Structure 1
């Protein structure tokens, strides 16, 4: 008999639950929700007792699917599989759910919660008893004790609910891992496409882009995507010690299926997504500047921040990215040739009317006793310098470790300066210990 139902967009979680529950589980791919909850309900066979919804289902999808399942299968228990806790009260208030389970919960925790909820459904009279009910309890009071109820703040409840239908069990699991759910963008939230550009290579453009992504992800976790649009020689994946299965060519050619596109993204431990450059230079011909521009526009409908690391200079792909930019971060270093090169780039962009509305000028590798001071640099550029980043060995050490500089050594002078770039984009991105928490990395 099918006892449990899983509706999810995570193939990894589905595989794990299949291995745990075997014949007791039926699965329906979450992609069917694109056509409405009825498409999912129509594919449910038998009469499952408990439905697990998630990961990677939105609030709206979960709400409509819960209502449809309750209508078709009265009394069914509902467990939402998700990790994000900040808006948990909204989910509990807005949807009739019985438990919230982390996708990283152990098999033992998952099975124990399923057994307890199943037993409560029987004890409360919502569903009939079954012959294979291994954890059946005699009365509701015993069950409420077994559920080990907690309140939404994570503290033990001082009283058991008197209304059986209002019981909400929140499964606390360790360790608490970041949720991979992509947060929806509200109608009033302005999405930003931040293009990082430099007139030539070796200016620190890639380091700037990586740290922008890491810093903005602290205030917008899982709503930041970093695109390596240096289509021939991009090295963001190497700088972050990632081995992505898919590259910009694969993702840009994924069509307009948002679900399929999301499956091709590479997730970084610091809560942002990466789209790597093509693995070999000859593949760069497979994505045109026009296609790149259209792709960036599509990403802007999915993410709060789209950060683009461009090819040095003003080639086809760099210009296409700048056409989509809300912010331009222009990077140079503290030498006369580099400063003059950036000035020429500005002059051309002004002539092409492609200077982004928000402009940020970053000068890297600043040192004393080089024959230049800030006033000289600004005179050469013909523009104000917004952030000066001192030369630092920490930049090299962070890159060799595959870690963003602002998280590798928060006290490093270059890290503090780059943090200033992040704050120019989002003044709320003030570093705190809680925001900078990262997973332990193997040394």
Structure 2
């Protein structure tokens, strides 16, 4: 559990901090009076309850000199704690804060969404520093699940499935999910999530971000559903400067920082897709209910089996399912050779949500397509991992 401490007497700001924490950041907030700053770090920690804090917010309504003095001592004694100073971010204050070990200086009128992002990044920074302080044998860093969403051909709704899967997992693990758009020429994750990213994958795989996971997080775009996104390049030609080695290093970086890494790959089996499969823990194959799509998937499975690149976790999604298509679920399973795990029937809501840039799992839409997507998300929920495989692969029916 993340722990937050705010030293302030401004109730409006305290309320905003609580709103930022609730729902997205797991943890609780303890508020202390600004008077505590004058009594030193020992008195501060004597008043704390529960687990040691990960983030301490200094202000607003505190004396900047007292806050910076406390920050200097905390940075020396407890370097694993992230410190935020709430004050007018003048150049002088920012410079003094940097020398005192303050992570960020924010204005008192900061909005809740911006505050949520800063607190999440402060928690990640604190966790990173704690790992760095542990001996290598004790750190035992656990990698997140890398979920490659794939299809041998385009037009089967792969990005729609990937974005809804990421949003659904965001409810399971808030702020612990990142979606990567690996369709480097014509990726649509940004439009599918109604995002206007300041940075793209091009910047993330070059320069300092490729060497430091904390720097990399600055290149991610935060989505309102409590997930991060790393979007495709603005220009298709930029894909020429991203190699398979770049992709491998990028995904490995993200897997050490996030519980789930959802990768929306380009159609086919290009070098970037194969690089993803080499380190993926799960593969989600999206297939349309048409003969070319089914045959393409069968060929894809054959090639990947020969290359020994089939991830241990395999999940088959039948999209655009329709009883009137002339093909049954049994036909698809017999042709491809694997069971269908989730069926997403044709729905008016899905194209509408895609055009709006708001995934159906982000809202309260109720139909059979939403049910199918939720069933897919449930396959990655730790609470369902104990279910027997025959339960997970129970026969699906197209309504």
1:198 paired to 2:151: yes
| 5+ residue gaps, structure 1 | 1-54, 56-69, 81-87, 102-109, 120-172, 431-443
- The answer to whether the aligner puts 1:179 opposite 2:116 as a matched pair is yes
Q: Secondary structure at the match of 2:285?
A: strand
Q: Contact between 1:222 and 1:272, CA under 8 Å: does it hold in 2?
A: yes
Unaligned runs of 5+ in 2: 1-20, 22-36, 68-108, 129-138, 386-399
Alignment-derived partner of residue 255 in structure 2: 300
* Greater per-residue helix proportion: 2
2:158 matches 1:209: no
Is 1:395 aligned with 2:350?
yes
Name the CA shift for 1:247/1:175 in 2 (closer, same or farther; >3 Å).
Answer: closer
Q: How does 1:154-173 map to 2 (within 5 A)?
A: none
Q: TM-score, normalised by structure 2?
A: 0.65
Q: What's the counterpart of residue 221 of structure 1?
A: 174
Structure 1 residue 419 displacement after superposition: 0.8
Secondary structure, aligned partner of 1:331: strand
Judge conservation of contact 1:410–1:416 (CA < 8 Å) in 2.
no
User: Contact 1:409/1:415 (CA < 8 Å) preserved in 2?
Assistant: no
**Is 1:194–1:308's contact at 8 Å kept on the other side of the alignment?**
yes
Tell me the TM-score normalised to structure 1 length.
0.59
State the match for 2:184 in structure 1. Answer: 231
Paired residue secondary structure (1:330): strand
3-state SS of paired residue (1:392): coil
Larger Rg computed on CA atoms: 1
Name the residue aligned to 2:335: 380
The correspondence of residues 408-423 of structure 1 with structure 2, limited to 5 A, is 408-423=363-378
The equivalent residue for 1:244 is 197
Secondary structure of 1:94's counterpart equals: coil
Determine the C-alpha separation between the residues in 2 that align with 1:208 and 1:393.
15
Q: CA RMSD in A?
A: 3.4
Residue 370 of structure 1 and its aligned partner are, at CA, apart by 1.7
In the alignment, does 2:274 pair up with 1:319? yes
User: What is the CA deviation profile of residues 193-247 of structure 1, one whole-angstrom value per residue up to 9, with x for unaligned ones?
Assistant: 0000000101111011111111111121111110000011101101111111111
1:262 to 206, 213, 217: 217
After superposing on structure 2, the runs of 4+ consecutive aligned residues of structure 1 that deviate more than 3 Å are: 76-80, 173-178, 182-190, 427-430
Spell out the pairing of 1:416-435 with structure 2 (5 A cutoff): 416-428=371-383
Q: What's the secondary structure of 1:294's corresponding residue?
A: helix
TM superposition shift of 1:428: 3.5
Aligned pair count reads 289
Structure 2 equivalent of residue 111 of structure 1 = 60
Q: CA deviation at 1:342?
A: 0.3
Distance verdict in 2 for CA 1:237–1:384, change over 3 Å: same
